[in-house]
Amino acid sequence: MRIGCTKKMVFFISLYALFLAITPFEFWKSLLGCLLTFHKKLNVTKLFESSTIYHLIFRLDDIRKAGKIFFLTSEPKYQDSGGEYIYRRLVRDIIYTYKKARSEFNLPPLMRTRVVPSESEKSEALQSLRAASLQQATGHFAKAKKLLEHAFKLDPDNIDVLIALGEAIESSYYYGKSTPHVALPLTKSLIPVYGQVPNNDADGLILTAEHLYTKALIVDPTISKACVHRERLMPIVEEIDQRILNAIDFKVRQFYHIPEGDPGLRRAKVEHYFKHVYHSNAIEGNTLTLAQTRSILETRLAVGGKSLLEQNEVLGMDSALRYINNTLLRGDLTAITLENILELHRRLLSFVDLREAGRLRRSQVVHRQLCDIFLGCHVFGRKSPCNPNLGQLHFLSLNSVMCP
């Protein structure tokens, strides 16, 4: 009996030694890299906090609050589940924290318009400015403010109009601050649930006035009056910006606590993936819409009325991104080389141009749109042989930044 057990042990040891001998060394190297990555990411505390038992015992109030929000919300778009609603609401709040209404006077869209005013518009703006001065002298500040807004729309680069409108908005801020029934404190603490910034109209008034003074200084940096007003408002503006940045940092920290297996986070990743493919192709002139791009990626069916070349660009971008997610983003020991870039290029252009996919260009670059416009071909640079050490220093610096 003992002799049989000894023979079995010798057999298994020999089999194990044979397995070690025939296994490639790259297998053990990859296995070691995966173990190191798993050891770095393993956190027993976070694993326990993400479990259902922990939330049922220690976070029961959060679950009740999430259920109340789920049943009381009027947005069916976010009515998936309690936790998913909270996390998707959090992601949306992080993006749109700074995109709130600055004030009742919508300044940023007006400041982006660069239409040169005519002489009649400039003269009308000056007349509105004089009328606003008369209204301010008689105590009709609301009418004066409307006249100044009208003058600003007519002539956005008039320095006198910019300064006068900034002073009117700033005076309305101080008037609202001094009024007892208008509660607009600037030092209001952050709401602890989502780190929301208080919806404070006074913040918008101060920021709008500071924008107007800054624009006046851009038009003419020698205006001392606008410089004095801007320096007076800068401490308040910095305080407002710091509170907004603190709220964003708070929401980002809350976002990092979302477990990776959360359905809301997975859905957000899928939506972001579709948008990334769409914008990457649209910036190069692809005319497919976001819905059409998503339909191609989900169903792999062609879209009627659209070019096959544009649809193949979507498939190529999808193939390249899948290659990145499955290879280059796996583990910390992966270094980016020229071969990786060529593999990305091959997947990106394999659906569009097989001759140029996956290799360095051997011909001159011809701009097709310039050929269509000028009935000729615009050639960029001269044809020259490629350097065999192409991009070596760039890849070394890139890898040093990614893995310091």
Percent of the chain whose pLDDT exceeds 70:
61
Please say whether the dihedral angle defined by the alpha carbons of residues 390, 392, 398 and 402, taken in this order, is positive or negative: positive
CA angle in degrees (0–180, nearest 5) for 267-270-275: 125
| pLDDT tens per residue, range 134-173 | 888 888 888 888 898 888 988 888 889 898 998 888 887 7
Q: What is the pLDDT of residue 317?
A: 92
**Helix, strand, or coil (residue 199):** coil
Phi and psi, residue 288, nearest 5°: -70, 140
Which class would CATH give 107-256?
A: mainly alpha
- Across the range 107-117, mean pLDDT stands at 55
The label of the residue with tokens 């792999």 reads 300
Please list, in sequence order, all residues whose beta carbon lies within 8 angstroms of the beta carbon of residue 74, skipping any fewer than 6 positions away.
Answer: none
Residue 69 has pLDDT above 60, yes or no: no
Range in 127-136, 153-162, 173-182 with the lowest mean pLDDT: 173-182
Residue 71 has pLDDT above 50, yes or no: no
- Across the range 388-396, mean pLDDT stands at 55
- Across the range 92-108, mean pLDDT stands at 47
Q: What letters, b where the CB count within 10 A reaches 16 and e where it falls short, cover 326-359? A: eeeeeeeebebeeebbebbbbbbbbbeeeeebbe
Whole-angstrom distance, CA of residue 186 vs CA of residue 176: 12
Whole-angstrom distance, CA of residue 104 vs CA of residue 109: 13
Residue 356 has pLDDT above 60, yes or no: yes
**Which residue has better confidence, 395 or 286?**
286
Range in 131-140, 209-218, 281-290, 377-386 with the lowest mean pLDDT: 377-386
Whole-angstrom distance, CA of residue 145 vs CA of residue 135: 9
Per-residue CA distances from 23 to 13, 14, 26, 299 (Å): 15, 14, 9, 40
Whole-angstrom distance, CA of residue 317 vs CA of residue 344: 9
- Amino acid 75 reads E
pTM over 0.75: no
Please, which contacts does 144-149 make with residues 24 or more away whose CB atoms are closer than 8 Å? 144/168, 145/105, 145/169, 145/172, 149/105
Report for 35-39, 203-207, 318-322: range of highest mean pLDDT: 318-322
Beta strands in 123-229 (DSSP E): none
Q: What is the pLDDT of residue 370?
A: 46
Residue 58 has pLDDT above 80, yes or no: no
| pLDDT tens per residue, range 289-314 | 999 999 999 998 998 889 999 999 99
- Across the range 368-372, mean pLDDT stands at 48
Q: What is the pLDDT of residue 28?
A: 72
- DSSP classification of residue 306: S
Whole-angstrom distance, CA of residue 281 vs CA of residue 11: 59
Q: H/E/C letters for each residue in 211-232?
A: HHHHHHHHHCCCCHHHHHHHHH
- DSSP classification of residue 115: P
Q: What is the pLDDT of residue 1?
A: 55
Q: Are 55 and 39 in contact (CB under 8 A)?
A: no
| DSSP result, 261-276 | T-HHHHHHHHHHHHHH
Longest dimension (CA), the chain: 115
Whole-angstrom distance, CA of residue 27 vs CA of residue 132: 79
**Which residue has better confidence, 218 or 396?**
218
Report for 47-61, 86-100, 246-260: range of highest mean pLDDT: 246-260
Please list, in sequence order, all residues whose beta carbon lies within 8 angstroms of the beta carbon of residue 394, skipping any fewer than 6 positions away.
Answer: none
- Across the range 203-225, mean pLDDT stands at 87
Nearest 10 degrees: Cα torsion 328, 333, 338, 339: -70
Q: Are 305 and 295 in contact (CB under 8 A)?
A: no
Distance between start and end Cα atoms, the chain:
59
Q: Are 190 and 197 in contact (CB under 8 A)?
A: yes
Q: What is the pLDDT of residue 277?
A: 94
Range in 22-36, 238-252, 284-298, 380-394 with the lowest mean pLDDT: 380-394
Q: What is the pLDDT of residue 274?
A: 94
The label of the residue with tokens 């009742």 reads 104
Alpha-carbon Rg for the chain, nearest whole angstrom, is: 31
